[in-house]
Chain A
Amino acid sequence: MKYIDEFQDPELARRLLDDIHATATRPWALMEVCGGQTHTIIRHGIDQLLPDTVELIHGPGCPVCVTPLEVIDKALEIAARPDVIFCSFGDMLRVPGTDRDLFRVRSEGGDVRVVYSPLDALKIARQNPDREVVFFGIGFETTAPPNAMTVYQARKHRIPNFSLLVSHVRVPPAIEAIMTSPSCRVQAFLAAGHVCSVMGMDEYPALAERFRVPIVVTGFEPLDLLEGIRRTVRQLERGEHTVDNAYPRAVRAGGNPAARAMLDDVFEVTDRAWRGIGTIPDSGWRLSARYRDFDAEHRFSVENIATREPAACRSGEVLQGQIKPHQCEAFGTTCTPRTPLGATMVSSEGACAAYYLYRRLGVTPTKLEASPVA
């Protein structure tokens, strides 16, 4: 247990782990939905501290990773236009499109800017009335309310040169897709805490009941994860399948009502393609009819871009928890953070990047020579 000293409260971590070890009597497979949680788990070696019988399967909750290739290509085409200022969060810069990324577009003269908040992009639009300002609106239920508010403000203050390239995704339909997949091994979910800070827990009891899986809302720090895992294993051992909140300091049952109301106004539910996985019904949001004028796809006529994923990249299987990153042949050889084949190797929340960063010496000793330090 070499990592346990790094825990904020090693004594509490030890007690939680002891409880998990004492409770688990049979093999269980838990999926952590969120990429932020995957990052913490791998960084702190939490999976290695658990009993051998408790397996963590890494889920599809990395927003950068699941943004489909065709949306990336649309972003690249728009960003390369001379009349456009293209604004994005920093983690999208190196996500590979079909033949380049945003970082490359910028080096070729595109005006690509990184913002901390979508409201910063709106400010840029106000300051540059003669340019088109596009914000790359990706993310789960946590990120959708900020983007919704920004479009709401653009409409309210009549800022015609602002638009949003939207690729928002929702967690509950992804859980449904995972549970109905024939190869599914998942027996319980650690639900993403900050998604629930916004959405609350209303959407989960029906899923827990239908698929007979415990769903435990879990935070992002090492101790939060241990507590979420502990509560999940307890339910599994008792044959229970309820929705439980192990992150009450940030999650209220009803979520954030103001944010939910804004989501209902600005967005409408739509089918959405997930990179490497395919289309999941009702799994995303697009702008609702009254905000359609602010949709960058329509404004720049990029609706018809079609793409194909590189065959060597198995990120779709990684995102569905069917393989671990190091079981992909490209991992650490042809695919590294410097030369990523798929988005899971780019984002700090991507499972492949987390394994590369913290595990490659352990999981791929034979490939070290072919994998120089990035």
Chain B
Amino acid sequence: MPTPLHLAVALDGAGWHPAAWREPDARPTELLTPGYWVDLVTEAERGLLDLVTFEDAFALQSGDRWAPDERTDQVRGRLDAVQVAARVAPLTRSIGLVPTAVVTHTEPFHLSKAIATLDFVSTGRAGVRVRVGALPAEAAHIGRRQLPDLRELDPADPVAQAGLRELFDEAADWVEVLRRLWDSWEDGAEVRDVATGRFVDVGKLHYVDFAGPHFSVRGPSITPRPPQGQPLVAALAHQAVPYELVGRSADLGFVTPTDAADAARILAEIRTAQAAAGRAEETVHVLGDLVVFLDEDEATARSRKDRLDERAGSEYTSDAAVFVGTPSGLADLVADWTQAGLSGLRLRPATLPHDLRQVTTALVPELQRRGLFRTAYEASTLRGLLGLPRPANRYAAV
């Protein structure tokens, strides 16, 4: 029986709270070392989690949502997420690895082969979270284009909405190219036929011939079809236009509901977008994002958050809801949100490794006691863990 509940953890720096790096167990001088990431992902794998995500951007972290700041009291500097995932892959066995890729400023051809290769080096555990890079600073780092200014974005402002739509349409094209390139080699294209001297059957290699307003790509990929056929495509969405991207392009959406009712409302929007894209029959998993401060008793968790907030100089807020409490309280919330139709949650540990350990050593056992979560990995690929089939190749003659 496939597990009904899926759990992910979002890894970023020393944790999602800006003062996380000052916690006693934090390793702030090791954030750029491979050992740090191996330890975190290994811990997540001990907890039998479905997947971890790795955050990324084409700009330095900033306390300001839209512009660089000059703060010296928070973690700054990071590594390319795809490579971090690849570095961890040979040292783990079962957990899904989902790095972030910035679609606005990268070549879909490069990322297609990178994620396919991540799938090879992890033998079938790769995904990618596509992220629109709307920050003006990111655009200035690449210097190739001017972006619409979304800073003053008012959902009612048609100009800003059009700019947002353009970026997300481009993201959808980008995913389309990614997927076509993954299919551009049929399974079994490598024939090694000594009699004819042919290494590949060119009948099983396909041009993708994509042409859109922002780029065109001829194909085929230089990398053969990866083990999962199609690695997992994920996206974070907060409002209508990104929901449509999830509905039309993704296998997995991350959303930020405030409660179970909100989750149900968001889910309905995504299902509508999914149906409009003609994908009603496909499984698109949706996980609720939640920042978590977890301790054995609620008072400890709350005082830990207060201490962190005090050190940061302001109360922590996030685009996602914030949970402060016990693993068993969180188990209640998980049950509640999944009742509302979510496939599970993506937890953002406020501090690392503390809140991750609370997830693996307390939340997971609690969910297992309630019969809600797996007690062993039941599949060797990420698609397998999520109960998703290995897709047929769109180019294969039936």
Tell me, yes or no, whether A binds B. no
